[in-house]
Structure 1
Amino acid sequence: MEGVEHRTVEVNGIKMHVAEKGEGPVVLFLHGFPELWYSWRHQILALSALGYRAVAPDLRGYGDTDAPASVSSYTILHLVADVVALIDSLGVDQVFLVAHDWGALVGWYTCLFRPDRIKAYVCLSVPFMPRNPKVKPVDAMRALYGDDYYICRFQEPGKMETLYDNNIEEAIKNMLTSRRPGPPILPKEGAGSNPLASGSLPSRPLPSWLSQEDLTYYASKFGKTGLTGGLNYYRNLNLNWELTAAWTGVQVKVPVKFITGDLDIVYTSLGTKDYIESGAFKRDVPFLEEVVVQEGVAHFNNQEAAEDVSNHIYNFIKNF
């Protein structure tokens, strides 16, 4: 991508790859699973052209950033520490934070732990999930959707990797282009029963928002690293619950704008829609200023509805 500079910085004991473009106030973008800095390619170009310094790292375990071998090296404390150290490396006190999917969870905890470092937060897809002191999150998901719920399937190291890594390009394609709302259920009968796995679906044309060049870039990076780093985030959900006990009931007190699609797998499962519409989201995030639900848009809205997302980001952060 023209004008995007790449470098490696040392943060929190690891080497992190960072892409950036532009000058001005920093907008820091955090990607999700199974993505990379590249997922923000459209927003990097749009925001840098509007007078901002757009910065997008490969998060721990992804792309050209280090991937520690230990599963326990991917707790939310590690991930937030990476972000804070990255902000320090940029030479600024505060950033505008924009995040999606797992990046969104890291973003929420960054706002919770270090609100002094965040001017405002634009969150995509995953709302704040307050800690339930009575039940661990994976246990709650298993009780709700059973052992075949995708996050439950992701828990065992090595199992899902063997399913996905056989044809990483097709697996990435199926995950990025899935438009099936509701909870992703991955039956254990094999790849043919798994709607996200390679070989599970007839090859279909790429959507207009995802080119073969884009897919090839993702496949080239995940072909080298595999999906283990990203899957390890899910494998720490119960440990994160233990580590964050002291923050039970604490509100997120930074200005927030939330954007999701009405076909998003998160919006259409786990009681998310009701949580947002009932006022509970606003209770937990009192400075939530706006919720945007994009019609006909699925989970990867930063790519599928890139221009709309970029405009929403700019129209929010320009007020600060």
Structure 2
Amino acid sequence: MKFSINDVTLNVVVEGDERAPAVLLLHGFPDSSKLWSGQMKPLLDAGYRVIVPDLRGFGDSDAPAATSAYAMKNSVDDMITLMDQLRIDKFKLVGHDFGAALAWSLAISLPERVERLVVVSVGHLGSYFSAGGVDQKKASWYMLLFVQEGKAEQLLQADDWRLFKAITSPGVPEAAHKAYIADLSRPGRLTAGLNWYRAGHSIETFVSLNANPDVPGVQMPTMGIWPTGDHYCLETQMLASEDKVPKGCWRYEKLQSASHWAPRDEPEKVASLLLDFFKQDFPGS
């Protein structure tokens, strides 16, 4: 389905009964709504309605040229408007990679509407660098490349996308690499994806270990999923996210056999965790 939202047209997969409880699934870089294909059917079979957008710049959604178009606040507004257009008041929220960062931001903005929050790999924005420290900054080296306009595009595409393939391996099969490259080879699409980082990060981000220390916490039960094979988002920053969640409302799950791309590596396990968490009892929920 196509939705005209905030001067962009977003492609959104919407399936399930309109009366069913809703789940909003948010992908990261360099993915699209297809990331969640392994979780959609189990959620639908369990009686949920799924809403899975191609975020701006990805998949079949529009890709504005301006870097500022990819500021987090714009995508938060996109998701709020999307759920309003679908007339969905309350929903469960799941995010991976910068889709997890968007999910944290959306949950902070809509405490009365987000019933449950699930984040994969990326912990709370106020803990990511401050708790992860120097080691997390080292693991996030690719961000230093991504924010360099022009240079990043050149290096990632050089020698048949050799660096891009290295960054997205292990964990991404060859067929997925080909699909990514075909998608990002469209005019302006690689830059659009990188603009997500450029709009939210800078070289200065890496100077202070206390980047974003004042970001507020969330108010709903939250589950953090961290795969042991994630070389980019360290466990420390995810564990520290517990401090940003109401007492007794945090659940942590470690996946032993997954890379950064856990929804693709362990689709059944991630789906099972989602379904179990959505029905789990928490204080005040």
> What's the TM-score once normalised by structure 1's chain length?
0.74
Deviation at 1:77, TM superposition (A): 0.7
- 1:101-143: CA deviation from partner (whole Å, max 9, x where unpaired): 00000000001112222111111110102179xxx99xx8799
CA–CA separation in structure 1 for the residues paired with 2:213 and 2:152 = 32
Task: Tell me, yes or no, if the aligned pair for 1:21 and 1:45 is still in contact at 8 Å.
Answer: no
CA–CA separation in structure 1 for the residues paired with 2:274 and 2:182 = 29
Deviation at 1:145, TM superposition (A): 3.8
- 1:135-164: CA deviation from partner (whole Å, max 9, x where unpaired): x99xx8799549x92111111212111223
Change in CA separation of 1:169 and 1:46 when aligned onto 2, cut-off 3 Å? farther
CA–CA separation in structure 2 for the residues paired with 1:57 and 1:218 = 17
Counterpart of 2:258 in structure 1 is: 297
Deviation at 1:167, TM superposition (A): 6.9
CA–CA separation in structure 1 for the residues paired with 2:167 and 2:137 = 22
Task: Tell me, yes or no, if the aligned pair for 2:146 and 2:197 is still in contact at 8 Å.
Answer: yes
Structure 2 residue runs of 5 or longer lacking an equivalent are: 206-210
Task: Tell me, yes or no, if the aligned pair for 2:25 and 2:51 is still in contact at 8 Å.
Answer: yes
Task: Tell me, yes or no, if the aligned pair for 2:126 and 2:212 is still in contact at 8 Å.
Answer: no
The answer to whether 1:21 aligns with 2:15 is: yes
CA–CA separation in structure 1 for the residues paired with 2:160 and 2:82 = 29
CA–CA separation in structure 2 for the residues paired with 1:252 and 1:311 = 23
Task: Tell me, yes or no, if the aligned pair for 2:226 and 2:238 is still in contact at 8 Å.
Answer: no
Alignment counterpart, residue 178 of structure 1, candidates 163, 170, 176: 170
Correspondence 1:127-138 to 2 at 5 A: 127-130=123-126
CA–CA separation in structure 1 for the residues paired with 2:113 and 2:238 = 25
Amino acid at match of 1:34: P
CA–CA separation in structure 2 for the residues paired with 1:252 and 1:117 = 12
SS in 2 for 1:96: strand
CA–CA separation in structure 2 for the residues paired with 1:262 and 1:153 = 24
Deviation at 1:169, TM superposition (A): 7.1
CA–CA separation in structure 1 for the residues paired with 2:56 and 2:116 = 23
Counterpart of 2:208 in structure 1 is: none
Alignment counterpart, residue 91 of structure 1, candidates 66, 87, 92: 87
CA–CA separation in structure 2 for the residues paired with 1:100 and 1:261 = 12
Task: Tell me, yes or no, if the aligned pair for 1:28 and 1:54 is still in contact at 8 Å.
Answer: yes
Change in CA separation of 1:51 and 1:228 when aligned onto 2, cut-off 3 Å? same
Correspondence 1:1-320 to 2 at 5 A: 7-23=1-17, 24-130=20-126, 144-145=137-138, 149-165=141-157, 173-178=165-170, 210=173, 212=175, 214-225=176-187, 226-238=189-201, 248-268=214-234, 273-277=235-239, 280-286=240-246, 288-319=249-280
Deviation at 1:218, TM superposition (A): 3.4
CA–CA separation in structure 2 for the residues paired with 1:54 and 1:266 = 28
**What fraction of aligned residue pairs are identical, expressed as a percent?**
28
Deviation at 1:317, TM superposition (A): 1.2
Task: Tell me, yes or no, if the aligned pair for 1:126 and 1:266 is still in contact at 8 Å.
Answer: no
CA–CA separation in structure 1 for the residues paired with 2:113 and 2:92 = 9
> What's the TM-score once normalised by structure 2's chain length?
0.83
CA root-mean-square deviation: 3.1
CA–CA separation in structure 2 for the residues paired with 1:254 and 1:130 = 17
SS in 1 for 2:277: helix
Deviation at 1:267, TM superposition (A): 3.9
CA–CA separation in structure 1 for the residues paired with 2:8 and 2:191 = 17
Deviation at 1:284, TM superposition (A): 1.6
CA–CA separation in structure 2 for the residues paired with 1:141 and 1:70 = 31
SS in 2 for 1:34: coil
Deviation at 1:170, TM superposition (A): 6.3
CA–CA separation in structure 1 for the residues paired with 2:253 and 2:120 = 9
Task: Tell me, yes or no, if the aligned pair for 1:60 and 1:79 is still in contact at 8 Å.
Answer: yes
Task: Tell me, yes or no, if the aligned pair for 1:263 and 1:298 is still in contact at 8 Å.
Answer: yes
Change in CA separation of 1:151 and 1:286 when aligned onto 2, cut-off 3 Å? same
